[in-house]
């Protein structure tokens, strides 16, 4: 039976990102403040050129990016993703997203929100739903995350949803603070 990839929470709808979301991605990835802790802003041309990679899915749809939107108004608020964590390279290895296959690399959670959506608990709510989804519909025993050491807001989101610090780890070609949540620990919080 196919997995339903459209997820809902009290306030949000999460659906697989599509080519129609290019405006949202351009808005966020060209915004210097949104991209402050993610290696800086991108060019509009580069984003448009790479949009095909952003809509790829793998692992029976369990891996990829979702558009996060307001459940009532439909307004797009940001994105949340489950993707293979790169270690010695500075971007996701998109070739690991293959339908029906689950990569052997660690899978990371990541999220970006438009500035108008900051400070309202949307990242926490979306992350909780993505963790429920992945631990109920995939074979992954753990999900990891890394942050820029200055990004205290992202650190708080991860802690709220149950991630624990694993110390510094190599990711995106840098030594960054690492976090993880294990299925068993997630289940004990439910």
Cα dihedral sign for 56, 110, 115, 4? positive
- Do the Cβ atoms of 146 and 177 come closer than 8 Å? yes
Phi, psi of 170 (to 5 degrees): -80, 125
- Do the Cβ atoms of 60 and 3 come closer than 8 Å? yes
Phi, psi of 182 (to 5 degrees): -100, 140
Write out pLDDT tens, residues 59-112: 888 999 999 999 999 999 999 999 999 998 888 888 898 888 889 889 999 999
> Quick one: which of 168, 177, 179 has its CA closest to 148?
177
pLDDT reported for residue 160:
96
pLDDT reported for residue 40:
80
Average pLDDT, the chain: 93
pLDDT reported for residue 2:
61
3-state SS, residue 175:
strand
pLDDT reported for residue 150:
94
Does position 1 have pLDDT exceeding 70, yes or no?
A: no
């Amino acid at each position: 039976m196919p997995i339903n990839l459209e997820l809902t929470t009290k306030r949000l709808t999460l659906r697989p990102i599509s080519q129609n979301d290019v405006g949202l991605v351009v808005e966020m990835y060209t915004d210097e403040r949104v991209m402050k802790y993610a290696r800086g802003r991108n060019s509009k041309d580069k984003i448009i050129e790479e949009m095909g990679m952003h809509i790829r899915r793998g692992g029976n749809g369990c891996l990829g990016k979702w558009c996060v939107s307001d459940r009532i108004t439909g307004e797009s608020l940001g994105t949340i993703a489950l993707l293979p964590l790169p270690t010695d390279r500075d971007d996701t290895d998109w070739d690991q997203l293959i339908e029906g296959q689950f990569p052997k690399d660690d899978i990371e959670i990541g999220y970006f929100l438009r500035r108008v959506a900051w400070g309202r608990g949307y990242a926490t709510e979306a992350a909780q739903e993505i963790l429920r989804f992945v631990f109920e519909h995939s074979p992954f025993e753990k999900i990891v995350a890394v942050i820029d050491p200055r990004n205290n807001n992202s650190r708080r989101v991860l802690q709220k949803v149950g991630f624990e610090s694993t110390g510094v780890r190599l990711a995106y070609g840098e030594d960054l603070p690492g976090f993880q949540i294990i299925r068993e620990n997630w289940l004990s919080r439910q």
